[in-house]
Structure 1
Amino acid sequence: MLLLLTTDTHVPKRARELPPPLLAAIEQADVVFHAGDWVDAATLDLFETRVRRLVGVYGNNDGPELRARLTEVARVECGGVRFAVVHETGPSQGRERRCAERFPDVDVLVFGHSHIPWDTLAPGGLRLLNPGSPTDRRRQPHRTYMTAEVSDGRLHDVRLHRLPPRGPATRP
């Protein structure tokens, strides 16, 4: 089962459109996780029409319309792996411990907010994944998203994808 993880798309606030490589990748995925900060309901609509299965939450930049359609925390099982998705996890200092305490019943936590890619293990084995942002790299060298695979009840082949620099036509 192929998974795609993304967050902090911020369309149209930080970018006019989603990067074409991300759009192509979401159509190939069996499950797409989006950890919030969609900003625009049209982006959620786009994902819903293009993906096989969407697991999404709202973020701090998402208004009433998105909050009415999404939850703050989502939980789902895919191929025997238990996932939770949330936008914000607080400061990086102590993140693994806090998240392990908050999500003791999951194997993988997908989160966003910082725009900083993150892949660590918490005490007890909880894997924390932040795919960065495909539209707003902030202080990071690249815009990013992640893919992973689930088989035999295990998450494997977690990969961070770097997106090419934006051309002049897509700059906000």
Structure 2
Amino acid sequence: MKIVVISDTHMPRKSKSLPDKLLADLQDCDYIIHAGDWQTVELYNELKQFGPVIGVTGNVDGPELKSLLKTKDILQVGNFHIGVVHGHGSGKTTEKRAIESFTADKVDCIVFGHSHFPVNKEVGGIIIFNPGSPTDKRRQKQFSYGILTVGEEIVAKHVFF
């Protein structure tokens, strides 16, 4: 199973359209995860054309997105649970806030955004994954998004471009 993971698209402020590389990966995905800061609902509607979308709201998302999406969600794929949260807030790092969001839940992977900084590591047996941003790289050298491949295990990787 292929899950495309994106976050912090900030569309249309940072880009009018999704990058071609990302659009190619969306063609054959089973799920799409968006970890917040969409900016407008148009992207949500566009992504639904490619497959089921699991998304959460971020700190720049307006009332229309907040009426459609939660601030935290969990996707079950087979025997695995993937937690999704944006990670904004005060105190602690974005990563620590994301991890703490799921202390009461059993998750195998936590997807978060907010920092625009790609992260792929394991903490306490849980994959901690931030895809970066495909449209707003900020201080990063490249744009990025992620692919989670789910089979006997979850394999997380970044796509940099």
TM above 0.5, yes or no, is yes
8 Å CA contact 2:115, 2:132 repeated in 1:
yes
For residues 85-137 of structure 1, the C-alpha deviation after alignment (integer angstroms, 9 at most, x for no partner) is: 001155775945x55443141110000011000012223x1211000000010
2-side partners of 1:16 and 1:89: how far apart?
A: 24
- Aligned residue for 1:137? 137
Cα distance, 1:148 vs. partner? 2.0
Q: Indicate yes or no: 2:159 matched with 1:161.
A: yes
2-side partners of 1:109 and 1:70: how far apart?
A: 17
- Aligned residue for 1:107? 108
Aligned residues: 158
8 Å CA contact 1:37, 1:59 repeated in 2:
yes
- Aligned residue for 2:23? 23
Q: Indicate yes or no: 2:16 matched with 1:44.
A: no
Distance of aligned partners of 1:15 and 1:50 in 2 relative to their CA distance in 1, 3 Å threshold = same
Cα distance, 1:26 vs. partner? 1.4
- Aligned residue for 2:69? 70
Residue 121 of structure 1 aligns to a residue in which SS?
strand
- Aligned residue for 2:3? 3
2-side partners of 1:47 and 1:8: how far apart?
A: 14
Residue 132 of structure 2 aligns to a residue in which SS?
coil
8 Å CA contact 1:100, 1:126 repeated in 2:
no
Runs of 4 or more above 4 Å deviation = 89-94, 98-101
Cα distance, 1:3 vs. partner? 1.2
Gaps of 5+ in 1: 164-172
- TM-score normalized by the length of structure 1: 0.85
2-side partners of 1:94 and 1:9: how far apart?
A: 17
Gaps of 5+ in 2: none
8 Å CA contact 1:6, 1:146 repeated in 2:
yes
Cα distance, 1:23 vs. partner? 1.4
| Alignment root-mean-square deviation, CA | 1.8
- TM-score normalized by the length of structure 2: 0.90
1-side partners of 2:98 and 2:14: how far apart?
A: 28
2-side partners of 1:16 and 1:95: how far apart?
A: 28
